[in-house]
Amino acid sequence: MARPMPVERKIALCYIRLSVTKDASDLTSPERQRANIDAACRKYGWIPEWYEDAKGHKSATKEENRPAWQALKTRLGDPDVAALVVNEQSRAMRNAWRAIKLFEELPGQGVVLHLAALDRTIDITTPDGRMSAYIQAFLDDLYALDASRRSKDSVKYRKGKGISIGTPPFGTVRDDQGYLTASPSGAWLLPDGAFRPGKDQHQPPHPDATWRGYYACAEQILTLYKDNQHGYGWVADELNKAGWAFRDRWNQPRPINGDDVRRVTSNWREYAGLVMHGRAKEQIANEIENPSGVLYDTGRAVFSLELLYAVAKTQEERSVTTRPTKSVSPAHIFSLSFLTFCARCDQLARAEDNPKFRTRITGHNKKGQLRYRHSDSHKCDCQTKSVPVNTIEEDFARLIHTLEVHPDAIELMAELAVQTRFGGAQDNDDLQEQKKVAIAKHKRAIKNNFTLFQNGEIDSDEYYRQKDYHERQIAYWESQTTDKQKIALELTTCVEMINRLKTFWEITDGEDRRLLAHSLFDEIVYDLDKRQIVDFTMKSWAEPFLVLRAALYFDALSEEMKNRFNSGLMASSNGLFHDPNGIPALA
């Protein structure tokens, strides 16, 4: 049987994202992204396959609100895909933990990440590429968090002044102070049945055109709905027959549908000048005791209070349910589910050399009691079958804190790594001497070249060509670092990442915590009876750091380093390096 021909990797998955789309002018950003990405594909011979999330709110801190991104991810493992191309790294992801997870998956799928705006391909398999991608991921995450804080503070301030937030309800606009007022815009109904947007009812585009103002349309919707005689669909049909139109996000008129009627009638609080807490789509009538009773004269109502009261009463009557309010609790995200294994089962699996005996500890929410529970798929001799969620997650937080390293330890860790990899500092001394000789040689060459130019023995073109060559050589040698310096840079980056992970664990929850744990650890082994973490495996990018950190303990050090260690140089406030005669447990 003939072997199948390998598929040539030529496809580039090209992703475009715009955070918030407010009007048609925002589309210039997707156009710019598309132009940069298309140029990169032509340069590297890739065939572009386009995915675009550019309408509405498409935050890169999440994935569920980006259908095109989710569709793209299903293609990453296909054999014809060569690259994932975005204009810049933040277009793909602004959540550090999701970004790190993506970076780790791409090399195994044979896919590279290319940044079109910088014309740069990120190779996560190299220390420099990994360092650059991870640092940028954390910067993007911090930018998103800072923007979120500022936005929430602005919303709180405006709502405190009685100003609603977001797109004004249909038929209204905001005045100079931010309060709602009747919209002057509308649509002209042309003789052929088509609509044309307009802002002045006294300037028809056609002598026989009929004006249909958006404010009057909203009033008609509320009037037909208030008597509680018909549903949303019937109201929409009646208005369409009368030639009314609804305004879409792009300020273009279109026929009215049932959802449009629901939007207008559900905004009776905003039309009355009331500012409710939370998002508008979460203001459910039956979750507010006596909804119509919240109405009062704010002095800012854009429709009559009698009409709005009748709409509120109708909505109240229609919002009857047999289910108690808030009886369905939201799903809880357990940060350590599918990452944690039972310690007793792990011991048995090792003894029997059978990984099937390993059993996961997963989250359970029974009657509001959040616990991590031993799986029923396998029985072991542990007496405790579950622990409260805070017990294991607080132990995990202590583990992250234990991994913290004092900055003064970086130099000693780098020195130890050099000795382990290269057998001492001889190679580093040779490199330093070679670097010094090379730089001195090229500086002499520049000086001699200038003398030849002054004496007229070479022309200006040759002088500048030689000068440029030697300056480039000097820059090359000056950029050469010793093995110790390179390792110290890698370790510094790793330490900084772990410190950030510790900080983010304290300020986040839910899905972000779960991604954090899964981005740093491959697995955690937990003893339910002792209620403590007894073993763990970190991701491959953090494993060298952990090995070097453990090697700092007394038994692994040379005599010279033992003397430095005993001198107190490496003592740190967290107690990790205080005791040279014993290794404190990491868990």
pLDDT number for residue 378? 77
Half-sphere exposure for 555 (CA within 13 Å, toward CB) = 5
Supply 313's token pair. Answer: 């009463």
pLDDT number for residue 335? 87
Query: Which residue matches tokens 């008609």?
Result: 220
Contacts of 367 (CB under 8 A, 6+ apart): none
- Region label for 494, one of left (φ > 0), alpha (ψ between -120 and 50) or beta (otherwise): alpha
pLDDT number for residue 554? 43
pLDDT number for residue 291? 56
DSSP 8-class letter at 8? P
User: ∠ CA(369), CA(370), CA(376), 5° rounding?
Assistant: 100
**312 in Cβ contact with 274 (< 8 Å):** no
To the nearest 10 degrees (0 to 180), the angle between helices 214-226 and 232-241 is 140
pLDDT number for residue 431? 63
Half-sphere exposure for 355 (CA within 13 Å, toward CB) = 0
State the DSSP H helix or E strand holding residue 247, giving kind and residue range, or none if neither. strand 246-247
pLDDT number for residue 84? 92
pLDDT number for residue 14? 94
Supply 518's token pair. Answer: 């899964």
pLDDT number for residue 568? 37
CA separation for the pair 476, 435 (Å, rounded): 10
Handedness of CA 392, 395, 400, 401 (dihedral sign): positive
List, for the chain, all residue ranges whose pLDDT scores fall below the cut of 50. Answer: 1-4, 24, 27, 285-287, 421-426, 553-558, 560-587
Q: What is the pTM of this model?
A: 0.45
**300 in Cβ contact with 179 (< 8 Å):** yes
Strand 521-527 vs strand 532-538: parallel, antiparallel, or unpaired?
antiparallel
Q: What is the DSSP annotation of 86-106? A: ESSHHHH---HHHHHHHHHHH
Burial (Cβ within 10 Å: 0-12, 13-18, ≥19) of residue 200: exposed
Half-sphere exposure for 377 (CA within 13 Å, toward CB) = 11
Across the strands, what pairs with 195? 189
pLDDT number for residue 584? 33
DSSP helix/strand/coil, 220: helix
| Residue 286, CA distances (Å) to 188, 323, 324 in order | 38, 11, 10
DSSP helix/strand/coil, 47: strand
Contacts of 261 (CB under 8 A, 6+ apart): 221, 225, 232, 233, 235, 236
pLDDT number for residue 581? 35
pLDDT digits (tens, 9 = 90+) for 487-524: 666 666 667 667 776 777 777 777 778 877 887 788 89
Strand 81-86 vs strand 112-115: parallel, antiparallel, or unpaired?
parallel
Could you count the other beta carbons within 10 Å of the beta carbon of residue 412?
A: 20
pLDDT number for residue 410? 59
